[in-house]
Structure formats: C-alpha cells, structure tokens
Amino acid sequence: MANIGNPFTKHGKKVVLCGSGELGKEVAIELQRYGVEVVACDRYAGAPAMQIAQSCHVFPMLDAEKLGSVIEEENPDLVIPEVEAIATPKLIELEKKGYHIIPTAKATFLTMNREGIRRLAAEELGLPTSRYEFAETEEEFKAAIGRIGIPCVVKPVMSSSGHGQSMVKKESDIDTAWKISQEGGRAGGGKVIVEGFVDFDYEITLLTVRHIGGTTFLRPIGHHQVDGDYRESWQPQAMSAETEKKAQEIAGKITAALGGFGIFGVELFIKGEDVIFSEVSPRPHDTGMVTMISQDMSEFALHARAVLGLPIPEIKLYGPSASKAIVVEGNTTEYEFLDVEKVLEEPGVQIRFFGKPEIKGHRRVGVILATDETVEKAKEKAERAYAKLKVKVY
C-alpha cells in the first residue's frame, strides 16, 4: 500500500536528491506534485533543483563522509542519485543500513563505472556489445588500441555527457586521446575503456520503466550527439517492429539485472536489424527530455511514479516530437535569453530554461521542444525556434 502524508510530518515522504541539475529539477517538480519533500544536494550552490526544493546541501557528491552524514541527518524515505559521479560504495553501505537507494545501490555502483556495466552486459548477460578492452596505464592503453584496431572510441570508465571521450581515427590521435581521457574523467585520471568503432546506422535511447506493475518500454528515442554530449533528440525513432522488440529484450535483461524501480536510459546501436548494447543510466536520460512534450507522462513523471510505488497502467504518445539543447559558450555568472516571444510564435513549441547559475566553457542551459505531424517536421520546427533565440553573455 502506497501512503503519502503531508510534508514536514511523520506521515510525509522525504527524498534526498543526489545531484540537482536540470534532470533532477524535473524529478523534484514531479515528486512535489505528490506532496513529497525534496532535499536537493549538489557540488555547487544554486543548482537548478535547489531553486525549487524545500532545502538543500552543497558538497561534492564524491565526498563519501559528507554524503553519508547528510543522508543520515535527513533520514529520507528515498535517496535518488541524479548524477553518475557519486561515492557509490557509501550508497552500498547506507543501503545495508536500511536506506532505500533508487533504483538500487548495486545499479548506481555498476553504472558509474563503465567497466562494471560492460562486464555485466557482455560477460554475465551475454548481450551483444562492441569489442572492448580496459587500460590503466598509457602503455596498456596503446597496447589495447593495437589489439582493438583503429578507428576506436576512448572513454574514461568514470565520466558522463561525453567528458573525456574521443575517437581515434588515425595513429597520430592516440597520444591526444589518452590526454583527453585523463583530464575529462569525473574522478580524475585513471582507467579507460577502448571500444571498437561500431559502424551503426543510428543509435537510440530506449527508456525503460520498472514499476510495481512490471516493466514498460517507451517508444524509441533517436538522438544526435557532439563529442558524446546530447544536442538533439526525437521520438519515435523509425525502426521495424522486429528490431524494436530486440531492443526491448536487451533493455529488459539489463534493467532486470540492475533491479529496483525507476526509469532507465538504455543506449543502443542499431545496424540493419542488429541491436548492440552501449550503455545504461539508472535515472532519467538527457535525450529523454523530448518526453516533456511527446507524452502524457514525461520520463520524470514516470520516474516519480515508479519510485513511489505507484502504478503506470498506460503511457500515451501524443505524436512525433523533437528536442534541441540550448548550449552556450562563455565564462560568466550572468546571461540573458533574448527574443523569447519569437521562439514561441509557432504552435507546438515549448521551451525550458534550466536556471544554471554560471557558464564555464560550454554549458547546456535550456531545451527547445517541438511537436508536429512527422518527426522530420518536428525537428525542423525545433531548429527554426532555436534560430530565433539569442543568448547574451555578460
């Protein structure tokens, strides 16, 4: 039985959100629709979810001692990781003490480290993946490339959003790829994965929801990335029913192995009718922001329902939709969006500004959402809206 009392009482529900970016902000909003108290945590003050949470804490998510003390102090009903760079061994310890980690401490531990999730997928579950090797030193790295071959992709085992990722297209790229991998990892330099390049036709995110009523698969989301970082996505990605079924089978196996309730972003390569596992995130996925306009329940709404133990009897797709990330370059704590009214002139266009307090280098600060008769028309509409937006960096 799922009972939810009013906030700030012994009957109310409390959630500690570990990571408070734009995805966490949407999760917090959806939780608060059910009267849940949200405690937002992140490494910097003024993070998006902190702006709407009832309370917050500022500390590095990799600080195990502080992470543990905050969770024990708050004593929440649920702990929801929103970023990968978290002191996951501490979460395992806290779970053993009785704290409820979403979806499970095991899932957050395995998916933070590409080695853990790749070995689970390929070696334990037998899922199709690209060829891969792990390397801890530059010497091992170069030897791995020699065996895997060129072209190949290099990623730190602990990173996200494309940080530290590069592609080796020719021999002269090898030294640069190693340097990028050591500078871009979320936990500093260290072990990398060298993956054989997959000559795929397209890639998808298959959002998969594990909930009290079973497992539900959303329609596949196509996406375009730049250096491993999401730039645009669309739903549904056109694919045969047979290929979509194969994708669901792979997503079902990997999410069942991770366990728990919540939404998972399963990334897959598609080559013809073949489906190849890439990665999985045990939380809402950035490419899934398109669901804020494409469905009656966004990935964030689905995550909130699932983790609260509430049923998800049906998910309605409104129609072909697209999203386009608003990425800004500069170094500032003050910026302004101009001509917003022009962006929203066309019907079927929405916009979200994340409210990030600063920009360092390049940063995603918002997203444009569009829906239309076809995916191509939705993508074109999002592009038109994006072209009308101006961002002034002070």
Which residues are tagged catalytic?
Answer: 160, 162, 267, 279, 286-287, 364
- The span from the CA of 19 to the CA of 70, in Å, is 13
- The span from the CA of 305 to the CA of 311, in Å, is 7
- The span from the CA of 362 to the CA of 51, in Å, is 22
Tokens 């979403």 locate to: 102
Per-residue 3-state assignment (H helix, E strand, C coil) for 209-264:
EEECCEEEECCCEEEEEECCEEEEEEECCCCCHHHHHHHHHHHHHHHHHHCCCEEE
Strand, coil or helix: 21? coil
Local structure of residue 317 (DSSP, 8 states): B
Helix axes 105-112, 241-258, angle to 10 degrees: 110
- The span from the CA of 192 to the CA of 114, in Å, is 9
Local structure of residue 382 (DSSP, 8 states): H
Beta strands in 124-219 (DSSP E): 132-135, 152-156, 166-168, 192-196, 202-211, 214-217
- The span from the CA of 308 to the CA of 305, in Å, is 5
For β-strands 14-18 and 78-81, DSSP reports them as: parallel
Task: Give per-residue burial for 133-145: e unless 16+ CB within 10 Å, then b.
Answer: bbbeeeeebeebb
Q: Which of 28, 31, 29 is nearest to 12 (CA)?
A: 31
- The span from the CA of 280 to the CA of 30, in Å, is 22
Q: Cα-Cα-Cα-Cα dihedral of 141, 145, 148, 150, to 10°?
A: 150
